[in-house]
Each structure stands twice: as structure tokens, then as C-alpha cells.
Amino acid sequence: MRFATVIKYIAASVCIASALAISVTTNQQDVEGFFKKSKSGHTNNWAVLVCTSRFWFNYRHIANTLSMYRTVKRLGIPDSNIIMMLADDVACNSRNIFPATVYNNRDRHLDLYGENVEVDYRGYEVTVENFIRLLTGRVAKDTPRSKRLLTDDQSNILVYMTGHGGEEFLKFQDAEEISAYDLGDAFQQMYEKKRYNEILFMIDTCQANTMYTKIHSPNILATGSSELKESSYSHHDDPDIGVAVIDRFTYYVLEVLEKVDMQSKATIKDLFDTYNAHLLRSTPGVRADLFHRPLDQVLLTDFFGNVQNIELTESNEKGLQTEDIDPIEEAEPVALGTTENENDTLAAQQPPQLPQGHIFEIGDPSQSQTWRYVVFVALSVSLFGALAASSFIL
């Protein structure tokens, strides 16, 4: 009986050790999963939202842009990662009977202008030159951070544009135009400078689909509201405001996005499948030949949302080595109010420097897990073995 009891103790200890080891492994996997990049390979999200129109009768273009701004903020992209270019001449226009407000629906349930809107390029700052400089990073040295697109090769970027356009051009405030060639060249510069991982280019204007015909850079997905020779129409107006308040294409895109939250698994294909030429009164387009992922594997939040993942670099490749740091050859300054001898005494009290060639390393996670399991088993067997032995002796 006592021998059977000992066997039971040992079996129980092994079971407990295994459970603990599995728990630790699962926790480690959860932690590592947080730090890994998303399936798209990106670690951060940015949005560039551009309204190229001005004047009161283009109210709907302002509302289009502010509606998209509200959506990407709701889905987690912070203002620091949103660049908005807006004429901003509607909210306080003398013809606005609802001062300091912008609405995208005649019911006026939601004020898009609100109290927390950050416009980065306002009024006459919305130019073709500033837009191209923003994308390519060729801005003046004194340009504030809020007007810079600080992306890298792990950034997913949503570029949304709305306004008046035609065949392979988009007007900027009725003063100048950006062509499809200009846009394609800007994206190519971004690719060469490694300023993006993936781009979703979305445009709502007349003959919108012609604006992405000259894009040849990889990993760019494009969609537009209308084909060549087709107009892009407004959805409805507000009799009190007196003008149209939103465009059809943007309205139906937002209708889908309003059902999405930050944890949603809805894909970009789900959005494209909702396109209805009858409702839009134009033929929307999608260009995916430059994009490397299947559309049914691209989450909407890959572009309209935000990720908080962190990439861990390999220690054996990027370990910190003090020998790589050039020694300081200049004499250290004497502290104010002390003599040179006193300053030497203070220096002697500083903590010692690490020896040359020291390398900071992190052990192999798989080896760490193996040793953890062995230690758990050994300790558990020893503990319960001791208990069993003591009970056997008694």
C-alpha cells in the first residue's frame, strides 16, 4: 500500500509539473503573439485624408473627409498618425445656419466638426505641391511634426481623396490640378524611400478610376467611385443647409465601416462586395494587380484601424556592443564651482563602465521553455518524493 502511495505521489507531481509548464508556455506564446507583426507585415497605421475643394457649394466634400476622419479615429488611428488637408471654409461660413458645425446627414444627429478635430493643412495650404511633398517626405526643415508623414517600411497608409476631377486629373481648389502621372510618381518615390508597407488609395470624384491607372509601385490597392466618362454623384441634400451633404460612394463605404470595430474580422473584400453600381449611379472600380495579398485575407482594420504591435529584433544580430561605440576623446568639462582635483574625486565615484566587448543577449526562447519544464518536473518530483518518503517512514 505504501509503495502504491509513493507511485501516486510521483504521478501527481509529474501531472502538476506538466500543467504548470503548459501554462507558462501558453502565456509566453500569448506574449510573443502580441509582439509579432500583423499578417500584413505592418506595425503602424497612418491616414492621409484630402479634400481638394473649397467654397460653400462643395460642402459635401468637406463632409466626406470629416466623416472618414471620424471613422479612422474611432477605429484607433490617433491624431498624430492622421494628416488632414481641408479648406475648412464651411463650418464658419456666413451661409451656414448651424454655425461651427458640419453634418453628413439631413437628420443632423452627428456634428462632424465637433470639439476635437485637428486640421493639419488648412485653406490655401491645400496645394498639389504640399500634398506631394507630404507623401514623399520632401518637406522644409522647419515643418512641424503634425505636418509630416513619418512613415517607414512597416507602415500601412490609407490615402483618401475627394473633390472634383476628370480623366486622369483631380482639381485642387479650382486653382490647379494633380494628374495620375503625378500621383503615380509620388507613390514610386515612397516605394524607393521605403516609406510604406502597403497603401490603400481611395478616391471619390468624377472619373475617379482613371486616377490610379498610372500607379506601378508594388503593394498598392486602389479603389474609386466611377469609371472613365462617368460622374460621381451626391447622396442627398439638407433643405435647411441648402446643399448636398455627402457623396454616394463615401456614404455607402461609411455604411459598411460603421458596423466595424477594432476587433472586427471583416475584410476589404467584404467592403468591395457591397459596391452596387445601381445605388452609386456609377461604376466603382478596384485595382488589385499590384497588391500581394488575397483580398479576403486583408482586414479592413489593416488600413482603417490601428495596430499596437511591437517588433522584437534578434539579439544575435543587433546585440549592443560597447566596442562598437567610439570612445570619447575630448576632455570632460570641469563641474562648475569645483576644482580639477574635486572633479576627479567626483568622477571616481561614478559607477564603473562595462568591459570592452560585452554583449547584451537574450537566450533562445525554445531552450528557456525546455529548461523551465525540466526544473518544474525536478522540483515537483523532489517535493512529492520527500513527502512520500516521510509518510512511508512514519
Q: Which residues are catalytic?
A: 164, 206
Helical ranges in the chain per DSSP H: 2-35, 59-74, 128-136, 180-192, 248-257, 268-273, 277-280, 301-304, 315-318, 340-348, 365-393
In 3D space, the residue among 95, 89, 85 whose CA is nearest the CA of residue 65 turns out to be 85
Long-range CB contacts (< 8 A, 24+ apart) of 106-109? 106/236, 106/237, 106/238, 106/239, 106/240, 106/245, 108/238
166 forms beta bridges with: 169
Maximum Cα–Cα distance across the chain: 98
**370-to-106, 365, 375, 380 alpha-carbon distances in Å:** 64, 9, 9, 16
Query: Are 160 and 49 within 8 A, CB to CB?
Result: yes
C-alpha cell at 48: 492621409
d(CA 16, CA 102): 62
Query: Are 10 and 388 within 8 A, CB to CB?
Result: yes
Q: Give the sign of the dihedral formed by CA 125, CA 127, CA 129, CA 135.
A: positive
In 3D space, the residue among 66, 218, 195, 91 whose CA is nearest the CA of residue 136 turns out to be 195
| Sequence-ordered list of residues with C-beta below 8 angstroms from that of 80, at least 6 positions apart, any chain | 145, 146
| Sequence-ordered list of residues with C-beta below 8 angstroms from that of 350, at least 6 positions apart, any chain | none
What is residue 351's DSSP assignment? P
Helical ranges in 36-152 per DSSP H: 59-74, 128-136
| Sequence-ordered list of residues with C-beta below 8 angstroms from that of 268, at least 6 positions apart, any chain | 200, 221, 295, 298, 299, 300, 302, 303
Strands 176-179 and 243-247: unpaired
d(CA 234, CA 250): 9
63 forms beta bridges with: none
